[in-house]
Amino acid sequence: MSKQSDKYSRMLAELKEKVKRIEYLKYGLNSLIYWDKITKMPKKGIEYRSQVMGFFGEELYKFLSDPQLKKYLAYFDGNKQNDEVVDGMIARMKRNNYYVEKIPEKEYREYISLIANAEQVWETAKEKNDFQLLQPYLERIVDKFKSFAEYWGYEENPYDALIGYYEEGVTVKEIDQLSTELRDFIIELLNQIKAKEASWKENTLEYVIPLAVEKQEDLARWVLSTIGFDFDAGRLDQGAHPTTLACSPDDVRIVTLYNEKDVRTGIFNALHEGGKGLYEQDIDKNLLGTLLAEVASFGVEEAIGRLYENIIGRSRGFSGAVYKKLEELSSQDLPLNSQQFYQCINRVKPSLIRIDADELTYMLHIIIRYEIEKELINNKITVGELPEVWNHKYKEYLGIEPDTDREGVLQDIHWAAGYFGFFPSYFLANIMAAQFTAKMEREVGSIDELISTGQFDAIHKWLAENVHRRGAVSSTSEVIKKITGGAMSSEYYIDYLKKKYCKVYDL
């Protein structure tokens, strides 16, 4: 072995040891401690827990901003060995280092502590239907992100800096173009559907199915098992909001919630988070200790969640299987037949709550949040104006207006949790899910046929091989290019929606 090769191996071993420590802290803070906070922690534990989370955040900051890391990064930049895992690890570290080192340590520590407290205040504010309880915390959070945008830098719009944190290279300009195309199409299709429904003598789509939470949990477990979720490497819990947290591919924790008055909420939460759980469980374990044993991006992860929730979950084949399971679990006859259940879960009806929105109008919920965030960061509106702006946009886009903050601006935890710039990932996810599906069908066959014949393993296998296993080795744009051979396009999603709703509503 040459001296150069020996040095390369030694430097790589030393770097990986440092990376392991970063990974342990990151998973400990973002997965284990956070999971316990939202599922098990008693309310009175928040004050001390916030201090603990602040400490771990500070330690993580120290590791990520360690001056020695820059020496390693500089070395490997100048000594590439055509190893995509090492190259990916270096790129990931440079990106992490860039975002962290630009923020002064004191501000980063304050931010971590602020978020920990704000999430708890959000729960109370939502319960009491009082936005003013959260407002002072949210004002501080927005101010932090305005500062972060300046620290991180941008070319055209300060909001680009926040979007880029989650989806590298994506800009306001690109999303504005895609959103215009989709908004125009959705509004036109929505008007056609409304006209069709108005002519029906009897609307069979109004039914809902109540079910005890205990039985809904049984149903959620059945859904997860059906699509391939491994309960020996994961678990299911209830929490304040649905999410999926992974400590490793062998420890993936799904958090969900149920609505005992309407079983659909629990079903589609399970499908969405279950899809993301499959992604996390399928990541190559050899990537542990490289910072690449993660999803490629939040948008790609959401794409898998939306694919399972909507393209699979709302299909005729899957809805029929769910209906049979509901018949087993229900203590009384269901108020609708299998065909009506399929129509029911695909009903298009503007709603106030994003997570309960129908598939077609969901994008309008995201566009509203995207526009509000953009306006906040660009000083077009203030935090104090949020309830009014929120209500106005819902009236304009969806034709409905919330009576309470609980149903309006307080419904999502994202802003209290510091997820500014994240909502565009939901937007991009729907587009990518349709592109992935189109490619899958060209290689494996009709997804409707696979679902109807119970071949969920074939779907899972294709996604695992083409998306999941590579973890974060590739960026969002690289994933799209590798799978589809082109750039992100609204064409496939528009085509999917058009075919689906023309069939459901006989347009």
Residue stretches of the annotated binding site for Zn(2+): 272, 302
Contact of 76 with 15, CB cutoff 8 Å: yes
Q: In whole angstroms, how far apart are CA 55 and each of 10, 24, 49, 109?
A: 31, 14, 10, 8
Quick check: 178 and 427 in contact, CB under 8 A?
yes
Of the listed 101, 123, 167, 273, which one is catalytic? Answer: 273
In the numeric block, the tokens 């215009």 are attached to 180
Q: Catalytic residue at 273?
A: yes
Cβ density class 47-83: b for 16+ within 10 Å, e for less: eebbeebbebbeebbebbbbeebeebbeebeeeeeee
Q: How many residues does the chain have?
A: 507
Asked if 424 contacts 170 with a C-beta cutoff of 8 angstroms, the reply is yes
Query: What is the spatial distance between Cα 446 and Cα 459, in angstroms, rounded to a whole number?
Result: 10
Cα separation, 92 vs 290, whole angstroms: 9
Do the Cβ atoms of 428 and 487 come closer than 8 Å?
no
Token digits for 492?
A: 């496939």
Q: Provide the greatest CA pair distance for the chain.
A: 83
Using CA atoms, how far residue 20 sits from 7, 26, 85, 228, 390, in Å, is 20, 10, 15, 29, 43
Residue written as token pair 């960026």 = 475
Residue ranges of the binding site: 272, 302
Q: Going by DSSP bridges, is the β-strand pair 251-256/243-248 parallel, antiparallel, or unpaired? A: antiparallel
CB 479 within 8 A of CB 469: no
Q: Which residues are known catalytic residues?
A: 273
